[in-house]
Amino acid sequence: MKHYTLFKKILLPLAAFGLLIGFISFAFIFNHHLNNIEAKANEETQKLANLLVTARTLVSEHVLSSMALLKQYASVEGPPNIHGVTDMLGTQVPNLRFGDSPQTGRTIMVDSVTRIGSGTATIFVKRGQQFLRIATNVKKADGSNAFGTELNPYGKVIEKLQKNETFYGVVDILGEAYLSRYEPMHDNQNRLIGAWYVGYKLDFNAIDQAIRQWGFLEKGFVAITDGHGKIRFLTGGISKQQALEAMEDKQHRWKRVSKEVPEWDFQINILYPVNEAYWSALGALSPVMIIALILTLVVLMAVISGLQRFVLNPLGGEPETAKLLLMRIESGDFAEDHIAATPDTLIANMVKMRRRLREMVSQIQASANRLKVSASVFDHAHDAIFITDERGLIVQCNPSFSVVTGYAQAEAIGQSPAALGIACQQPDFFQDLYESAQAFQEWQGEVWNRHHQGHDYLVELELSPVMNQAGEFQHYVGLFSDITRAKEQQNMLEHLAYHDVLTQLPNRVLFSSRLQQALLEAERQQSLVAICYIDLDDFKIVNDQYGHEFGDKLLMQLASRLTNILKPQDTLARLGGDEFAMLLCGGRTQTEYTRLLKKLLAAIEKPFAIDKFKFSISASIGYTLYPIDNNPPDTLLRHADHAMYHAKTHGGHQFHLFDLASAQQSQQQQLLLRDLLNGIQNSHIKLVYQPQVCMQSGKLFCFEALLRWQHPLRGLLYPNDFLNAVEHTSLIIDIGNWVIEESLRQLTEWQDHGLHTQVSVNIAAQHLMHKQFSDHLSSLFKKYPSIKPQQLHIEITESAAISDFARVNRVIQQCQSLGVAFSIDDFGSGYSSLIYLRRLPVDIIKIDQSFIHNMLSNQEDLAVIRGVVTLCREFGRKVVAEGVEKAEQAQILAALGCDYAQGFGISRGMPGNKVIEWAGKHDPYQFN
């Protein structure tokens, strides 16, 4: 009965309490493991999100820079505006223009922006609630440009544009993902008239390969869906149908962990079977169950032993002490409490037992934790891991080792790392490692391995020795990962960062680096360095007439041709467009570089054969010499640029050495050009009109439109004061187009008030030879239908007429077919030749005013005038005398048979609103 009472009071409650504690512990650990699995899934979704965001970031710079470039190109042509409607593929759409340039159907600008890489660009026009593509290089399914197609009216992009907001994100275009930027386009009244678009196709190959190898647990998988629920990426080994069924599981057989990626409008989903997670959690409980079983057995043995001691032997202390010890043992409290008892008594033995239990539990827990962590890291590490023994043979390797090397675990164990292709290009690598003075020390570096299938791959290898407690070597732990693709991408990115994509020449960044090195080397060797700046003179003609494809091929041939001439230590770099820079090194005198530059110019001017065409171009080269020009690198390149500008403005196809005077002149021209741009934008340029009258009848014949610029600081400027600065730029074409249109507008206004006359305008050579000159004239006559083409006279200088005789002749004939008349201005001041008078189909010859000014005092000038009038009469040309200021001059000119007169003696140039009043008083004009 006594033993039964002890059993019921002590042993039974202790056992029940132990079971309860075990059950609670098991439940807690089981649930904790499930939470860890879910947390791990969340970590994996974050890694995948980072991967997607990184891929998006790599393309973002292209998108932003291309959008800026597209808008910059558009700003050169002028502000966006809607001018009526136009036809596009049989549909009437608003006529979107940049300045005066219609954009419907044009692809030059969008192609220029996205020529590099797999990008697209589009200009949209707004029609009602629609946005239509009017200029685009987006391709339809049949390969044609998507002109006239509509922006998805139900998409996320159009919602942003309708709110005047920018959209920036991933958009599906023709079934492929593009990182896209849409920006609203406004006219000068801030009305929404269209949209800008730039997008770059995203290369999902690397992401797809990564996701296909991505798994979770044994049967879990990764599925990335887009905003429409479509699966974009999926772990290999599972079909899309199986993935969709798991994602739509209603029976809770699958656990789903999701994360939104707003930068892509994607959702990352990791799914794994619930029962697999349960079994994994139960597996994690196995060590704990063993420990609990051991503890339970030990406690039972201790209790039984204590009971026996209590019955057979004295307690060795107070009963309350024994009860307290039992309670602590029952609760699992094995902490030291400094209880003392007589040796070999119950209490003394219980104290000893508690101490041993404490040590045992601590050791078991520490060992279990270490083994658990080590096993998890070893088996789940993405890096390949192998362990060698003291002889250098592999005794263990993880699953990733087999994936990376191609050798199964059974094949690898017992082999040396060298036999498995590790460090294959260094056959004695491991032998040297064991025998060197640095043996059994850590080693880290890059080596080449050979795969089981025979191909080599680059790895980052780490070797760490493992010593026993006596400090003796036992194992080597090796860890490596395949970095071949990363290394290739790094090399490719480094090449792209320092080289031009088209020509493969160094770019501006690499050129700057080599320039600094060349300057240091020149100081050491006491030699000269030539810093050169090259600009092609006639390259724009090739692009305009034949397209950018031919222009790009010409640039590649030019780069190859010049590179073959230069020495290995020299550098040729492309700065952009048709501009290049050169470093010529090792020379001792300026004469050496002069000979080389002549050779380079000759090489550039040799014809280029592209397909069935041949092209001839020339170049302007500016250069400076260091240390004669002892300045920092940026300043030296700027000096070479100034010298190049001087060479170009003095006729081109030549080279020029930098000097301070030409640089100052170039700077003044640049400042003048900047002021002129501001003047055009602020309407500071205007036209005045000077009359031409018949010398026989005095009847009003024509008004010449003369350009004036009211400069805010320098006052009123005449054409000779500022047009030279823009003569070789595209701005001269914009100014010429404005002069023609403003003259026709003014002529229309005069006709509305009853004055019917003609107007003449001066056109620069570059403008006249522009391929769209006659087409632009034709469009202006349609815009001003009340003006007859015969009312417009175009004046060209004599030097312009002979710069490209055949082309000028062709343009004149095209314009004369419309009805436009032509005059040669300043005749006699240039390279007068009877052949041009005979062969150019001009209507009027204007005698230069320098001859008129001196005709009364210089018989030679009078003879020239008499000869010109006689020749013009023989060739059927009319004659206008410029610069008539005196009645005596007019009388002599009339007697010689001159047809018309113009000059201050008749009238100075007057604003358009003063012409009708002047004509009412002086038509016909009386020569006094």
**pLDDT per position as a tens digit, 80-108:** 999 999 999 888 999 999 999 999 988 88
SS3 for 225? strand
pLDDT-based confidence at residue 305 (cuts at 50, 70, 90): low
How far from 317 is each of 11, 308, 328, 869, 880, CA to CA, in Å? Answer: 20, 16, 16, 147, 141
pLDDT at 293 over 80: no
Please list, in sequence order, all residues whose beta carbon lies within 8 angstroms of the beta carbon of residue 895, skipping any fewer than 6 positions away.
none
Whole-number Å distance between alpha carbons of 918 and 910? 9
Q: What pLDDT, on a 0 to 100 scale, did the predictor assign at position 562?
A: 93
- Residue whose token pair is 């060209």: 796
Give residue 148's identity as a one-letter amino acid code.
G
| Cβ 202 vs Cβ 63: under 8 Å | no
Strands 685-694 and 654-657: unpaired
Residue 610, helix vs strand vs coil = strand
pLDDT at 855 over 70: yes
In the structure, what pLDDT confidence band is assigned to residue 342 with cuts at 50, 70 and 90?
low
Question: Which has more confidence, 556 or 8?
Answer: 556
Are 853 and 893 in contact by the 8 Å Cβ rule? The answer is no
Instruction: Kindly report which listed range (20-24, 452-456, 628-632) carries the lowest average pLDDT score.
Output: 20-24
Higher pLDDT: 330 or 223? It is: 223
- Local structure of 446: helix, strand or coil: strand
Give residue 3's pLDDT: 44
User: In sequence order, what DSSP letters do the residues of 696-750 get, joined into one string?
Assistant: TT--EEEEEEEEEEEETTTEEE-HHHHGGGGTTSTHHHHHHHHHHHHHHHHHHHH
User: What is the DSSP code (8-state) at residue 436?
Assistant: S
Q: Which residues of 794-806 are buried (b: 16+ CB within 10 A; e: fewer)?
A: bbbbbebbbeeee
* Highest mean predicted confidence (pLDDT) among 289-293, 728-732, 844-848: 844-848
What does the pLDDT read at residue 2? 40
| Lowest-pLDDT range of 17-26, 368-377, 414-423, 504-513 | 368-377
CA distance 639 to 610: 34
- In this structure, what is the dihedral angle of CA atoms 482, 488, 494, 497, given to the nearest 10 degrees? -130
Most confident of the ranges 301-310, 681-690, 735-744, 769-778: 735-744
Kindly state the tokens that stand for 476.
């080597």
Using alpha carbons, list the distances in angstroms from residue 348 to 10, 297, 355.
19, 20, 11
The strand pairing partners of 615, in sequence order, are: 608
Q: pLDDT by residue (tens digit) across 386-441?
A: 988 888 898 889 888 888 889 998 888 988 898 888 988 788 788 777 776 456 67
The pLDDT, as a whole number, for residue 1 is: 35
Distance CA 211, CA 822 (A): 71
Burial class (CB in 10 A: 0-12, 13-18, 19+), 120: buried
What tens digit of pLDDT does each residue of 787-812 get? 999 999 999 876 554 556 777 888 88
Give the model's confidence band at 375: pLDDT under 50 very low, under 70 low, under 90 confident, else very high.
low
- pLDDT > 70: percent of the chain: 86
Range in 320-329, 401-410, 446-455, 472-481 the model is least confident about: 320-329
- Who contacts 459 (Cβ-Cβ below 8 Å, separation ≥6)? 384, 404, 446, 447, 448, 449, 480, 481, 482, 483
Report pTM: 0.39
Higher pLDDT: 748 or 735? It is 748
The phi and psi torsions of 553 (rounded to 5 degrees) equal: -65, -35
Report the alpha-carbon distance of residue 849 to residue 704 in Å, rounded. 15
Report which of 478, 408, 402, 409 is spatially closest to residue 443, judged by C-alpha positions.
Answer: 478
Query: Residue 265 in 3-state DSSP?
Result: coil
Q: Is the pLDDT of residue 450 over 50?
A: yes
> What does the pLDDT read at residue 5?
46
Kindly give, in sequence order, each residue whose CB lies less than 8 Å from that of residue 373, ignoring residues fewer than 6 positions away. none
Q: What is the pLDDT of residue 35?
A: 83
The pair of structure tokens assigned to 209 is 């390969």
Distance CA 58, CA 122 (A): 21
Dihedral in degrees, nearest 10, Cα atoms 491, 497, 503, 505: -90
When pLDDT is averaged across residues 55-81 and rounded to a whole number, the result is 84
Mean pLDDT of 118-145: 88
Give me the residue label for tokens 């609760």: 331
Q: How many residues does the chain have?
A: 928
Asked whether residue 304 carries a pLDDT value surpassing 70, the answer given is no
Predicted pLDDT of residue 84: 93
pLDDT band of residue 286 (cuts 50, 70, 90) is low
What pLDDT shows up at residue 312? 43
Paired sense of beta strands 700-711 and 685-694, if any: antiparallel
Instruction: Measure the CA–CA gap between 548 and 338, rounded to whole angstroms.
Output: 93
* pLDDT above 70: residue 660: no
pLDDT score of 25: 74
Pick from 642, 670, 500, 639: nearest CA to 571: 500
- Alpha-carbon gap, residue 676 to 11, rounded angstroms: 106
Q: How far apart are CA 640 and CA 648, in angstroms?
A: 12
Of the candidate ranges 151-165, 225-239, 533-547, 555-569, the one whose mean pLDDT is the lowest: 225-239
pLDDT (average), residues 769-797: 91
Dmax of the chain from CA atoms? 162
Q: Say if residue 924 is preceded by a cis peptide, omega within 30 of 0.
A: yes
Q: Which helix (H) or strand (E) holds 120?
A: strand 119-127
Measured CA to CA, the distance from residue 502 to residue 507 in angstroms comes to: 11
Distance CA 596, CA 529 (A): 13
Q: How far is CA 255 from CA 216, 252, 273, 281, 610, in A?
A: 11, 7, 6, 14, 63
pLDDT of 713 higher than 60 = yes
pLDDT at 204: 65
pLDDT number for residue 506: 93
Average pLDDT, the chain: 83
**Chain-centre distance of CA 797, in angstroms?**
44
**478 pLDDT higher than 80:** yes
Q: Is 409 helix (H, G, I), strand (E, B) or coil?
A: helix
Q: What CA–CA distance (Å, rounded) separates 459 from 420?
A: 14
**What SS3 class is residue 807?**
helix
Alpha helices, DSSP H only, in 78-129?
A: 108-113
Q: Write out pLDDT tens, residues 560-592.
A: 999 999 999 999 999 988 999 999 998 889 889
For residue 861, which of 886, 833, 836, 829 has the smallest C-alpha distance?
829
What pLDDT does 842 receive? 87
